[in-house]
């Protein structure tokens, strides 16, 4: 199996999640923990990013979170060009590029991610992209910020990737957070099953979900799947009375057409429960992550967010459909 194998299930355990531990010692794979987050739910939050996603959005802000399998990543600023990793790799997956800033190249089709190169690197220029935790270990990590949650009305948010690619672990962690009195939120694509969502309802205070594109073929073109399951699950959560915020990422020349925004707003406006819509401006900072993974970034030519006047025009479209804009 190669390093960039992607999760293909739509929730629950998969062949990739099974080795992370039996239910008595369930472990999750985390690629980042962001403290003092202000945009992932109410108040000051700690956001935990879980690996694995069934979508492959062309603009993904966290491309390292798409594969569920852990990967070796290269940090050229710490590389002393000793070539010990080249010698250590049993599969010949690492080669050098003399004269270039990125001195080594990792052939992902040949790398088996056994960590030999990481052990051989004297400066940590090579590292794992993620860390495995038990739910109890991760609870202790997020509880370090409890004073900030209490004073701001914040809490813990699971993001990714897609947290529901590791659904048993995500549920266990959120159960522990709820038992500890912490507000819980989850950022999810909703590309999952109603059974998985039913299991999450008692432990999630706020669902944050995207509707990226209304047209199913456009959705498939830019994310790898159509939006049928996602829209059904939005209806499912609304019907269950879940607290949910729907968001649209504003991706230049992809999701920002007036027709797309208006259609999504009409859909949200027809949901029971009076749900709001949030427009998330484009963030150009993901380009560095694609460089780290030696992948082209399709939106590299866009180096700044959309102008505020353009975003406000789209907000007006949402309001015109009778939907509250966050």
- Strand 104-106 and strand 94-96: pairing? antiparallel
pLDDT at 14: 32
pLDDT at 112: 86
Confidence of residue 325 (pLDDT cuts 50, 70, 90): very high
pLDDT of 171 strictly over 60: yes
Q: With contact defined as beta carbons under 8 Å apart, do 186 and 179 qualify?
A: no
Cα–Cα dist 78/282, whole Å: 30
Q: What angle do CA 288, 102, 128 make, to 5 degrees?
A: 65
pLDDT of 11 strictly over 80: no
Closest CA to 190 of 59, 20, 50, 11: 11
Residues in the chain: 326
Cα–Cα dist 297/146, whole Å: 37
Q: Which domains does the chain have, with CATH numbers?
A: 18-68+130-320 (3.20.20.70), 72-128 (3.30.70.3270)
pTM: 0.88
Cα–Cα dist 30/160, whole Å: 8
What's the Cα-to-Cα distance from 206 to each of 22, 142, 159, 257, 296, rounded to whole Å? 28, 17, 12, 28, 34
Cα–Cα dist 105/127, whole Å: 14
pLDDT (tens digit per residue) in 276-298: 999 999 999 898 889 888 889 99
pLDDT at 23: 46
**20-34, 100-114, 182-196, range with greatest mean pLDDT:** 182-196
Confidence of residue 3 (pLDDT cuts 50, 70, 90): very low
Q: How many CB atoms lie within 10 A of CB 277?
A: 23
Considering Cα of 242, then 222, then 61, then 66, what sign does the dihedral take?
positive
H or E element at residue 248 = strand 244-249
The rounded Cα 278 to chain-centroid distance in angstroms is: 17
Cα–Cα dist 154/151, whole Å: 8
> Three-state DSSP class for 113?
coil
pLDDT of 1 strictly over 50: no
Cα–Cα dist 246/239, whole Å: 14
pLDDT (tens digit per residue) in 188-241: 999 999 999 999 999 999 999 999 999 999 999 999 999 999 999 999 999 999
Q: Cα torsion at 115, 121, 122, 127 (round to 10°)?
A: -60
Q: pLDDT > 90: what percent of the chain?
A: 86
| Mean pLDDT score of the chain | 91
Q: With contact defined as beta carbons under 8 Å apart, do 63 and 286 qualify?
A: yes
Confidence of residue 113 (pLDDT cuts 50, 70, 90): confident
Q: Which residue has the higher pLDDT, 9 or 172?
A: 172
pLDDT at 8: 31
Structure tokens at 256: 């920002």
Q: With contact defined as beta carbons under 8 Å apart, do 258 and 288 qualify?
A: no
Confidence of residue 246 (pLDDT cuts 50, 70, 90): very high
Q: Cβ-count burial of 220 within 10 angstroms (0-12 exposed, 13-18 middle, 19+ buried)? A: middle
pLDDT of 100 strictly over 70: yes
Q: Is the omega angle on the peptide bond into residue 161 within 30 degrees of 0, that is, cis?
A: yes
């Amino acid at each position: 199996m190669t390093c960039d194998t992607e999760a293909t299930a739509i929730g629950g355990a998969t062949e990739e999640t099974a080795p992370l531990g039996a239910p008595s010692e369930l472990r999750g794979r985390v690629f980042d923990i962001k403290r003092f987050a202000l945009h992932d739910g109410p108040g000051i939050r700690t956001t935990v990013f879980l690996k694995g996603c069934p979508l492959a959005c062309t603009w993904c802000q966290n491309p390292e979170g798409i594969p569920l399998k852990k990967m070796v990543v290269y940090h050229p600023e710490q590389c002393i060009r000793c070539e010990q990793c080249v010698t250590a790799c049993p599969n010949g997956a690492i080669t050098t590029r003399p004269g270039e800033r990125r001195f080594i190249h990792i052939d992902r089709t040949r790398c088996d991610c056994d960590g030999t190169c990481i052990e051989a690197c004297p400066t940590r220029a090579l590292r794992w992209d993620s860390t495995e935790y038990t739910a109890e270990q991760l609870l202790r990590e997020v509880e370090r910020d409890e004073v900030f949650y209490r004073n701001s009305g914040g809490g813990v948010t699971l993001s990714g990737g897609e947290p529901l690619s590791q659904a048993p672990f995500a549920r266990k962690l959120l159960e522990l957070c709820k038992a500890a009195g912490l507000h819980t939120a989850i950022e999810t694509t909703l590309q999952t099953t109603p059974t998985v969502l039913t299991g999450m309802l008692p432990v999630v205070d706020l669902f944050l979900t995207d509707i990226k594109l209304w047209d199913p073929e456009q959705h498939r073109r830019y994310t790898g799947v159509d939006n049928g399951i996602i829209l059904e699950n939005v209806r499912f959560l609304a019907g269950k009375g879940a607290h949910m915020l729907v968001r649209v990422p504003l991706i230049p020349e992809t999701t920002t057409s007036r027709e797309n925004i208006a259609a999504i707003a009409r859909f949200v406006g027809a949901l029971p429960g009076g749900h709001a819509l949030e427009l998330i401006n484009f963030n150009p900072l993901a380009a560095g992550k694609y460089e780290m993974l030696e992948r082209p970034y399709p939106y590299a030519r866009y180096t700044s967010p959309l102008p505020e006047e353009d975003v406000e025009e789209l907000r007006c479209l949402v309001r015109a459909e009778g939907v509250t804009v966050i």
